[in-house]
Structure 1
């Protein structure tokens, strides 16, 4: 460009040059989409088809006492996400790069674990999308899975995929909440008993809590929202308050979605109707919705299950792809990251088409596997918070209360993982 092209042009009559405050407002507005997208990506990633099925199964088994397991999972989620979001956004680095800056090679190990776990879970997510479309539209489940995978691929083939992802996860997330609230109201659950047992359960089952935590906070889900938030550009210590607010809102959305789904199933269970849990092919969540609203309930369930599946496909693929940047900086953003995400979905889709739905053994193992990944990543982040604030966090003074919460959550997840690892491998016939 010539120098004359850089010369400031006179403002048309009646117009004023934007002030600094105006520019700040415009920038904030442009960042709103990625922030909301981060909140809903975190929330919808935590509410996948596996979680919906687990909620129906455990509610049928434990009744209102399952509310306590949901509360514990939300509290652990709170401690985990507030720490993960803050450290990632204060440094402006993704989890893999941040881990490598503290312990060389640890980011590569974490990335491999996240990618393997995310890939296996994505096969189940695509299968869930097929089952959802089958219930909603009556099409063949395998074709439904293919359509779900192709739609997710199409979203990421757009040059402005980030904006499309934000809109998709927000619209489907709101739709899931609205429809589930409707079913929860119609099913007329015993809310008083549910509230009491949220804090004073009649039955305490730690295996249930371990399963829910591993399936809703473990693996790629831990980092989905924080990695998306980086795209907002609002990073660094000066934006800590905004990050804290966004992470809390994400946990709030997640908690509402979990609890309302539980109430919707509880209304059916409390009415005395027994859900069929006798076979791997049983679909207790679909049964509950059908009992409440008949054929319409099956269609509504199909939409919720499909929405949970495709948003989980998006979350798993995007977050897993962001970890690939530790192996090649060319994949750190833009079109290369989008292509890596597409490749991730393509591989998941091919495996799904070859094996059909994911075997039950694989889904159980991967759920536990992601639960085992959670304390590994948390330990690295707690090490950074306690011992590497000056160099890794750039001298940022990290709140001690937040580190204490994170450390307690880390210890608890290590304990739960130690109690789960033998049954997980035994289920696959690998251990005792």
Structure 2
């Protein structure tokens, strides 16, 4: 369910932004005067929340690698992230490193999924016939994949790369679906690996459940490799989240545009300070996914309205099936958000 919701949301948003050839906040302001400012405010706050989670993830990675506290790992990671942002050559090297780590993560997850010997047939059946349904689980997964700033990050990079206009829609479609496909494969592999471990009677460490899956299945070597992988994912996401969040507000005032680099650095430092003050990295990572999932229906709804404004998309005709499925995602995410809030107050 989450994969379908992800794909429909990303396809709609990327296509509309590419055809309009404008960032999301400018499109939203044309849909409803002032709506772009409100969307930017939500995305900025969601990006800040997610960056706290990114810092937490990077801190967990260094905790696994070197045994230092998660807070110390977060501070070191924040400093490295600032260095990557300031020095562009370091950023290019980090991109290559993150891609290598991504391939390593897939290979490691495949290995763990194999050696943990999970009950595959039961997993297949429960994928469509679960014993219980969690609103918050789906909301968190979708929010962590296309919620808040995340889907706009890819769409705005299309603008920067000038992959815009109706002529580029095939490439836009391919990019949107391949990104969701890769994330979904990784998600399924991690789930199968975790299922295999817990089905053997092992208990996961609540302080770092993902890392403990790898430790229980492949020993200390797998545990350390996973620490390196999750640190690489966290540190690259810190830079990406900060960049995209600031991109939503920098056009609103000349001083913001002028001091973008300083504001981005402050954004990273504030994220780190909030995490150190709050702690609870695993709970933060879950919470920020849910928060960004709540932002998605509003953001997607604005883009769907924009798809039928000729002053925004000119002669482009949005496929009816994309509009209808997009409306379905908006309604579903509102329903999930409501269900999550009800579950929170009743549990």
The normalised TM-score by structure 2 is 0.90
Match of 2:336 in 1: 416
1:343 aligns with 2:266: yes
Distance 1:163 1:101, change over 3 A: farther
Rounded Cα–Cα distance in structure 2 between residues aligned with 1:117 and 1:106: 16
Distance 1:90 1:371, change over 3 A: same
Aligned residue pairs, count:
347
* CA shift digits 1:16-42 (9 cap, x unpaired): xxxxxxxxxxxxxxxxxxxxxxxxxxx
User: Aligned to 1:145, which of 51, 56, 74?
Assistant: 74
- Once the 2 structures are TM-superposed, how far is the Cα of residue 365 of structure 1 from its aligned partner? 5.0
Distance 1:362 1:423, change over 3 A: farther
Match of 1:188 in 2: 117
Superposition RMSD in Å: 2.6
Bigger Rg, which one: 1
1:222 aligns with 2:151: yes
The more displaced of 125-134 and 78-87 is 125-134
Q: Map residues 268-307 of structure 1 onto 2, 5 A cutoff.
A: 268-275=197-204, 282-307=207-232
Q: Map residues 59-138 of structure 1 onto 2, 5 A cutoff.
A: 72-138=1-67
* CA shift digits 1:191-249 (9 cap, x unpaired): 33323433343443334223322333321123121122222112111111111111111
- Once the 2 structures are TM-superposed, how far is the Cα of residue 265 of structure 1 from its aligned partner? 0.7
Distance 1:365 1:302, change over 3 A: closer
User: Aligned to 1:314, which of 239, 252, 260?
Assistant: 239
Rounded Cα–Cα distance in structure 2 between residues aligned with 1:213 and 1:325: 27
SS of corresponding position for 1:204:
coil
Distance 1:363 1:239, change over 3 A: closer
1:391 aligns with 2:308: no
Rounded Cα–Cα distance in structure 2 between residues aligned with 1:348 and 1:275: 28
Q: Is the 8 A contact 1:179 1:304 kept in 2?
A: no
The more displaced of 194-203 and 111-120 is 194-203
Q: Map residues 317-396 of structure 1 onto 2, 5 A cutoff.
A: 317-328=242-253, 337-353=260-276, 355=277, 357-358=279-280, 366-385=288-307, 387-388=308-309, 390-396=310-316
1:172 aligns with 2:106: no
Distance 1:157 1:87, change over 3 A: same
* CA shift digits 1:398-422 (9 cap, x unpaired): 1111111111111111111222235
Q: Map residues 19-58 of structure 1 onto 2, 5 A cutoff.
A: none
Which structure's relative contact order is higher, taking Cα pairs within 8 Å and 6+ residues apart?
A: 2
SS of corresponding position for 1:325:
coil
- Once the 2 structures are TM-superposed, how far is the Cα of residue 190 of structure 1 from its aligned partner? 2.7
The normalised TM-score by structure 1 is 0.73
Q: Is the 8 A contact 1:117 1:369 kept in 2?
A: yes
Distance 1:317 1:236, change over 3 A: same
The more displaced of 312-321 and 248-257 is 312-321
Distance 1:363 1:316, change over 3 A: same
* CA shift digits 1:135-192 (9 cap, x unpaired): 1122332221112111111111124677456434423322322222222222222333
Q: Is the 8 A contact 1:180 1:261 kept in 2?
A: yes
Q: Map residues 235-274 of structure 1 onto 2, 5 A cutoff.
A: 235-274=164-203
Q: Is the 8 A contact 2:60 2:208 kept in 1?
A: no
Rounded Cα–Cα distance in structure 2 between residues aligned with 1:326 and 1:306: 32
- Once the 2 structures are TM-superposed, how far is the Cα of residue 79 of structure 1 from its aligned partner? 0.6
Rounded Cα–Cα distance in structure 2 between residues aligned with 1:330 and 1:238: 36
- Once the 2 structures are TM-superposed, how far is the Cα of residue 130 of structure 1 from its aligned partner? 1.4
User: Aligned to 1:199, which of 124, 128, 138?
Assistant: 128
- Once the 2 structures are TM-superposed, how far is the Cα of residue 300 of structure 1 from its aligned partner? 2.4
